[in-house]
């Protein structure tokens, strides 16, 4: 029995993908409104689930309806809504919207399933959508990015297949499952841009068409992250020690490397688009911190910490995705004109300035925005447990390390903010880009105000 929101999403998005060629020819750019309508319906279908209350994460089955799949699907649909608006800026808008919709479809499927077949199919769908998004932009940098991404994607897909085989066919042998988990983490590292598997990311995010990057960074990563939560949870619960601990340890190392490389890379960047590319790496590091704290709490039997870590991770995913969708849409306005250097942002108009401030402060983790609650919960989970690997010499080094990394990030985020509010001359953005920016900022503020009332 396939759950209702999944069915609704499959049907709606599937129909949209099938009809878009026709719609695009008839409606031209206005096809975006249809896409946005569908995205809204998908988001609502998942949001409705919360009315009855949901388990945070649910055990087995083809499709699982739990808070994880709901949060990721809602985020993907919301971001799809915003990016669809920016897409009207592109020449081949409806083709872009088609690929975008199939990416959202793949993400919804991947987020709600850990079945090996569905997993491979949806992962593939997301990958194809990803490099198509880049290619459709049509400029040289995007095409180069597309090819690089496609090549690396193919490679990681091989690894994923081996990993899935080991994890599911090895049934029960902890060593094989753990080995599979290692290979899965390599594939995830590629998909989500985790050092040392991130090398493609600064080049693609930093140079390609920002509208494509907004879809790529804000949607195409989400499914992989959701899958990471499910698979590592299963592994840790299934294999016992020491294999489970190794998975946690590797997650911790990946997270630590991600935060450091991302923040250091962004620190001296003077081009905002490339800075945001590195910032994506750092942000995924915080998400991994939440996942590792969750898995560690499971491995060491501390359910309340696990709950806190998972909640923080769930908040981090939309915080990250909405911020990136908004900021890259904003940058799309600059790409063809003054360029994306920090100084080009000087003298931004009031709506852009405000939304940029909200987005950057959210990435920084300032209250009362969503990013603050996410960081708070994740850092607290990393510090409040008595999990040995997070402590060294009595200090919660892992949480402190995260805070130190946040401190580094202050320097580059505020560098952008200072530029935004210094004097200069910038034309107002295209209306449809503005929808994406303001929409993401508004959602971040709204979520930041509502979330503590709902979950704390």
Partner 1 sequence: MTVSFLELVWVLPMMGSAMSLLAGSRWRRATSLLSISLIGISALLAAFGLAVAWSSGFRVLHFSVGWFTVAGKAVGVGVMLDGLSAVLSTAVSLISFLISAYSYSYMAEDEGIGRYWFFFDYFVGSMLMLVLASNLVLLLVGWEGTTLSSYALIGHWYTDEEDRWVGDKGRRALGVPMWSTPSSSAVRAMVFTSFADIGFMIGVGMLYGAAGTFSLLAISKEMPVILDRLQAQGLLIPFLLLFSMGAFAKSAQFPFHEWLVTAMTGPTSVSALIHAATMVNAGVYFMLRFMPMFLSGASADGLTSSILPFFLYVALIGAFTAFMMASQAMVSNELKLILAYSTSSQLGYMFLAVGLAPFTQPSLALFAALSHLLSQALFKAALFLAAGALIHAFSSRYIKDMGRAWAGMKATALAFALASLSLAGIPPLSGFWDKDLILDLAYKAGIWGAYGLGLAGAFFTSFYAFRAFMLIFFGPKEGHRVGIRVHEPSAWMLLPYAALSGLTLAYGVIWPGENGAASLLYGLVSKDSPAPLAVFQISFSPLLIALSLGIAIAGLALAVFAYAGRRELNTSSLAASKVISSFLYDRWLINSLYYRVIVDGFDWLSKAFERFESQGFDRAYNAWLPSAFVNASRKVRKLQGKGSITTYLAAMFAGALILLLIYMLLVIYP
Which parts of this chain interact with partner 1 (CB under 8 A)?
148, 151-152, 155, 159, 175, 178-179, 182-183, 185-186, 189-190, 195-197, 199-200, 202-203, 242-243, 245-246, 249-250, 253, 261, 264-269, 408
Please, which residue, 279 or 329, has the CB nearer to partner 1?
279
Please state the closest distance from residue 195 (CB atom) to partner 1, in A. 8
Please, which residue, 131 or 190, has the CB nearer to partner 1?
190
Please, which residue, 189 or 290, has the CB nearer to partner 1?
189
β-strand partners of 395 = 392
Query: Are 297 and 382 within 8 A, CB to CB?
Result: no
Distance, in Å, from the CA atom of 267 to the CA atom of 176, rounded to the nearest integer, reads: 40
Residue 52 CB neighbours (<10 A): 6
Distance, in Å, from the CA atom of 187 to the CA atom of 120, rounded to the nearest integer, reads: 12
Please state the closest distance from residue 247 (CB atom) to partner 1, in A. 9
Query: Are 62 and 113 within 8 A, CB to CB?
Result: yes
3-state SS of 234-277 is: HHHHHHCCCHHHHHHHHHHHHHHHHHHHHHHHHHCCCEHHHHHH
> Taking the alpha carbons of 286, 69, 128, 253 in that order, is the dihedral positive or negative?
positive
Please state the closest distance from residue 340 (CB atom) to partner 1, in A. 16
Place of tokens 């077949």: 117
- For helices 370-384 and 431-455, angle between their N-to-C axes, nearest 10 degrees: 40
Please state the closest distance from residue 332 (CB atom) to partner 1, in A. 21
DSSP for 275-329 reads: HHHHHHHHHHHHHHHHHHHHHHHHHTT-HHHHHHHHHHHHHHHHHHHHHHHHHHH
Please, which residue, 191 or 230, has the CB nearer to partner 1?
191
Please, which residue, 408 or 445, has the CB nearer to partner 1?
408
Distance, in Å, from the CA atom of 279 to the CA atom of 140, rounded to the nearest integer, reads: 24
Please state the closest distance from residue 203 (CB atom) to partner 1, in A. 4
Please, which residue, 13 or 231, has the CB nearer to partner 1?
231
Please state the closest distance from residue 137 (CB atom) to partner 1, in A. 17
Give residues with Cβ within 8 angstroms of 62, minimum separation 6: 2, 113, 115, 118
Distance, in Å, from the CA atom of 116 to the CA atom of 165, rounded to the nearest integer, reads: 8
Please state the closest distance from residue 181 (CB atom) to partner 1, in A. 9
Distance, in Å, from the CA atom of 67 to the CA atom of 50, rounded to the nearest integer, reads: 8
Please, which residue, 130 or 439, has the CB nearer to partner 1?
130
Please, which residue, 270 or 427, has the CB nearer to partner 1?
270
Please state the closest distance from residue 435 (CB atom) to partner 1, in A. 32
């Amino acid at each position: 029995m396939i759950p209702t929101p999944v069915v609704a999403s499959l049907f709606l998005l599937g129909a949209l993908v099938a009809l878009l060629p026709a719609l695009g020819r008839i409606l031209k750019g206005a096809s975006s409104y249809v896409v946005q309508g569908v995205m809204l319906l998908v988001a609502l279908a998942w949001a409705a689930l919360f009315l009855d209350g949901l388990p945070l994460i649910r055990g087995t089955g083809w499709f699982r309806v739990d808070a994880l799949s709901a949060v990721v699907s809602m985020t993907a649909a919301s971001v799809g809504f915003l990016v669809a608006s920016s897409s009207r800026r592109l020449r081949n808008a409806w083709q872009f919207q088609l690929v975008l919709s199939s990416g959202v479809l793949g993400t919804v499927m991947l987020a709600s399933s850990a079945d090996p077949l569905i997993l491979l199919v949806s992962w593939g769908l997301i990958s194809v959508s990803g490099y198509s998004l880049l290619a459709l932009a049509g400029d040289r940098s995007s095409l180069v990015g597309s090819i690089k991404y496609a090549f690396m994607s193919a490679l990681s897909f091989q690894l994923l297949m081996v990993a899935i085989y080991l994890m599911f066919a090895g049934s029960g042998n902890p060593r094989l499952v753990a080995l599979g988990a290692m290979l899965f983490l390599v594939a995830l590292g590629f998909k989500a841009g985790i050092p040392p598997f991130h090398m493609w990311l600064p080049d693609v995010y930093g140079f390609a068409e920002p509208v494509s990057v907004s879809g790529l960074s804000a949607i195409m990563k989400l499914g992989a992250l959701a899958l990471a939560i499910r698979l590592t949870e299963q592994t840790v619960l299934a294999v016992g020690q020491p294999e489970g601990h190794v998975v946690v340890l590797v997650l911790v190392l990946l997270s630590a490397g991600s935060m450091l490389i991302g923040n250091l890379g962004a620190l001296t960047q003077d081009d905002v688009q490339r800075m945001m590319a590195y910032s994506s790496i750092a942000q995924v590091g915080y998400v991994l911190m939440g996942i590792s704290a969750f898995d560690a709490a499971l491995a060491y039997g501390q359910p309340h910490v696990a709950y806190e870590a998972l909640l923080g991770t769930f908040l981090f995913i939309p915080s990250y995705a909405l911020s990136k969708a908004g900021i890259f849409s904003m940058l799309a306005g600059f790409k063809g004109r003054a360029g994306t250097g920090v100084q080009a942002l000087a003298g931004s108009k009031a709506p852009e300035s405000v939304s940029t401030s909200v987005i950057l402060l959210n990435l920084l983790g300032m209250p009362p925005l969503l990013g603050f609650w996410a960081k708070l919960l994740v850092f607290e989970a990393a510090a409040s447990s008595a999990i040995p690997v997070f402590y060294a010499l009595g200090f919660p080094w892992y949480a402190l390390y995260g805070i130190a990394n946040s401190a580094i990030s202050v320097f580059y985020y505020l560098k952008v903010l200072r530029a935004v509010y210094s004097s200069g001359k910038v034309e107002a953005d295209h209306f449809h880009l503005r929808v994406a920016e303001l929409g993401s900022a508004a959602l971040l503020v709204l979520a930041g105000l509502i979330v503590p009332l709902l979950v704390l």
